[in-house]
Copies of this chain bind each other. A is one copy, B any other.
């Protein structure tokens, strides 16, 4: 699942394997490494100037997170999904994100709000300028700001992880200038809902309707 709180530790030097891990995550989420592509342990070892051991450890961890998949005795590959699987992954991601949004709406905190709005301002700016690369970064920051604003690092970690997993598949969606604008505007709708006066009440109402009984029931177990 999810590492949480890897930061916040004092002056943690990135320890070879973490560096490799992050480099690979970066390349996977930008799509530089294509889904289905085989990863060469020896090649990576050479490239990072280390032996296969730490490379394998990094790959193992990413496989445990679902970003990579390991086929028995045949190596490790960038995860690749059928259309059906992809649909399920997006469904799961949307549920998690909706859960995050609900938590944010309930917790409403001014500092977090200004962070989110700053991120959104950057999204609007880059979208208008048609700065695709810039928008990808700003969009990422926007989503991360929402996850952080939940105040719950565990659900935030899950959400981030889904974002990483779906990165290669979302990347190609932002082709045209219009795509960027539309995306940034949909952020705005989201924010209006989260920060509307009656959002907290609405959210509570929504929870109490059906979810609350689920939650009550599940709490016991």
A110 within 8 A of B: no
- Chosen A-B contacts, 5 in total, with CB atoms closer than 8 Å, are A1-B2, A98-B215, A98-B218, A105-B210, A202-B209
| A interface majority secondary structure | helix
- Asked whether A153 and B98 contact (CB < 8 A) given A209-B206, A213-B190, the answer is no
Contact status A1-B216, CB under 8 Å: no
Report chain B residues within 8 Å CB of A3.
Answer: 63-64, 66
Flag A43-66 by CB within 8 Å of B: 1 or 0 each: 000000000000011001111111
A interface, CB within 8 angstroms of B:
1-4, 9, 12, 15, 56-57, 60-67, 72, 88-99, 101-103, 105, 139, 143, 151-155, 157-158, 161-162, 165, 170, 182-183, 186-187, 189-190, 193, 199, 202-203, 206, 209-211, 213-221
- Asked whether A220 and B1 contact (CB < 8 A) given A61-B60, A206-B211, A215-B94, the answer is no
Inter-chain CA distance A183–B216, complex, in Å, is 11
Report chain B residues within 8 Å CB of A66.
Answer: 1-4, 157
Inter-chain CA distance A12–B161, complex, in Å, is 27
Report chain B residues within 8 Å CB of A9.
Answer: 72
Contact status A1-B161, CB under 8 Å: yes
Across the interface, A1 reaches (CB within 8 A) one of B158, B183, B209, B213, namely B158
Report chain B residues within 8 Å CB of A15.
Answer: 72
